């Protein structure tokens, strides 16, 4: 009986361990959530140019961001103008007079990686040429330029166009180049991509576009941080994240001026709890001291980059009070005490809510103040500022 029970246990564990691999894109990249910069949130179409991107690469390489784990420098929409007689994508020569390959080479010379943008439809969201009908041609061009990351948007699609098959086509085109390329699916969460995108992309947008605001809902579809947090609480969505395949709540707005420092700190903390890509969307060459202190918090980044890759689950919600918990590879937990209200509140977390017995003794470390509480049992509570978060790790003795 013991032998049979042992065999069943081993078989069950083997089956469980095989599940993530079965639904994850196995292209060898994005084993932790990608970290880097994207041009759109700050510079959009009008402000994007070669000088901005080179200055950004210089800043990331020299201001501590590269050392903290940020590695991708990604240009978004508006780098392309059309196609030549052979159907090859044409670079906007006014914005990028040196060309894309020279820009990629410059970014690589800084020890960083380069990302580019396209769309599954006839045109991008800004009206530039999309990749439909040119997937393999574009993928070969990206690889020849030295692209390390491709984001593909979902604008100007054809009637009845299927998201899964469209993105699978680009996945296969990128794989055929033989170059390791992170593939980012930007389908806005419309068709619950977490249900199908694991074998297709390394990350997929699980929400609509982010806006630089705490609590807002734009008529045309943009979300504030609070709205995105609610979308990331969809039942079971956290189970689809893991090494090589990540839920993406959109890029970071930290530093762009629409929120307070406390709100930006909560924004950054919750993205780390979600095991989300950390793609900075501000002018990092000219960021403030507050922005720098948020983006370079190594302890919070370590939670985001935890190799277990298990995203947080909301374990408590009582009005504007929320508690989120995330299991870590070392057996500890990352916990976020989130206060969505307009007033400071005391928020607590019980050990039983995060998978520990009440009698467990643990060290609790606040990742923003760096203060530690030793020999804590049963629960932990803290005063949380309005629109703020207390983010801690709980490490059993």
Catalytic residue annotation: 153, 209
β-sheet with 313-318: strand ranges across? 313-318, 321-327, 333-339, 388-396, 362-366, 372-376
Rounded to whole angstroms, what are the CA distances from 369 to 135, 209, 276, 392?
A: 48, 31, 23, 10
- Tell me how far apart the terminal alpha carbons of the chain are, to the nearest angstrom: 35
Beta-carbon contacts of 276 under 8 Å, excluding residues fewer than 6 positions away, are: 33, 246, 247, 248, 249, 304
Instruction: Tell me the CA distances in angstroms from 258 to 39, 41, 243, 251, 337, one per residue in order.
Output: 17, 12, 32, 14, 22
Residue 148 CA: distances (Å) to CA of 140, 164, 202, 349, 354: 12, 22, 12, 41, 37
Tokens of 4: 């049979």
**Dist CA 382 CA 389 (whole Å):** 10
Distance (Å, whole) CA 2 – CA 15: 20
Distance CA 77, CA 147 (A): 15
Give the list of residues 6+ apart from residue 177 with CB closer than 8 angstroms, or none.
Answer: 139, 140, 142, 143
């Amino acid at each position: 009986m013991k032998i049979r029970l042992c065999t069943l246990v081993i078989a069950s564990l083997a089956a469980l361990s095989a599940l993530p691999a079965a639904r994850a894109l196995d292209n060898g990249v994005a084993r932790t959530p990608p970290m880097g910069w994207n041009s759109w949130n700050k510079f959009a179409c009008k402000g994007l140019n070669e000088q901005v991107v080179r200055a950004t690469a210089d800043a990331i390489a020299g201001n501590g961001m590269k050392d903290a784990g940020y590695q991708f420098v990604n240009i978004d929409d508006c780098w392309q103008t059309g196609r030549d007689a052979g159907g090859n994508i044409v670079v906007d020569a006014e914005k990028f007079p040196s060309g894309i390959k020279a820009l990629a080479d410059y970014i690589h010379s800084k020890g960083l990686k380069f990302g580019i943008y396209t769309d599954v439809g006839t045109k991008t969201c800004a009206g530039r040429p999309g990749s439909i009908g040119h997937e393999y041609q574009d993928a070969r061009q990206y690889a020849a330029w030295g692209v390390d990351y491709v984001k593909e948007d979902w604008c100007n699609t054809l009637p009845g166009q299927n998201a899964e098959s469209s993105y699978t086509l680009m996945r296969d085109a990128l794989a055929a180049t033989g170059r390791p390329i992170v593939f980012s699916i930007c389908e806005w969460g419309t068709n619950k991509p977490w249900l199908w995108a694991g074998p297709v992309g390394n990350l997929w947008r699980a929400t609509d576009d982010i806006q630089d605001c705490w609590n807002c809902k734009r008529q045309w579809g943009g979300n504030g941080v609070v709205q995105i947090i609610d979308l990331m609480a969809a039942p079971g969505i956290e189970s689809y994240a893991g090494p090589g395949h990540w839920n993406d709540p959109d890029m970071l707005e930290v530093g762009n001026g629409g929120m307070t420092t406390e709100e930006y700190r909560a924004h950054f903390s919750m993205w780390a709890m979600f095991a989300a890509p950390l793609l900075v969307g501000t002018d990092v060459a000219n960021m403030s001291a507050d922005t720098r202190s948020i983006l370079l918090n190594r302890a919070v980044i370590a939670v985001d980059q935890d190799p277990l890759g298990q995203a947080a689950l909301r374990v408590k919600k009582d009005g504007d009070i929320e508690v989120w918990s995330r299991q870590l590879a070392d057996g500890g937990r990352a916990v976020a005490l989130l206060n969505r209200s307009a007033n400071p509140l005391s928020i607590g977390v019980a050990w039983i809510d995060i998978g520990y017995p009440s009698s467990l003794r643990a060290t609790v470390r606040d990742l923003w103040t760096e203060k530690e509480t030793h020999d804590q049992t049963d629960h932990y509570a803290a005063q949380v500022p309005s629109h703020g978060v207390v983010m801690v790790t709980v490490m059993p003795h």
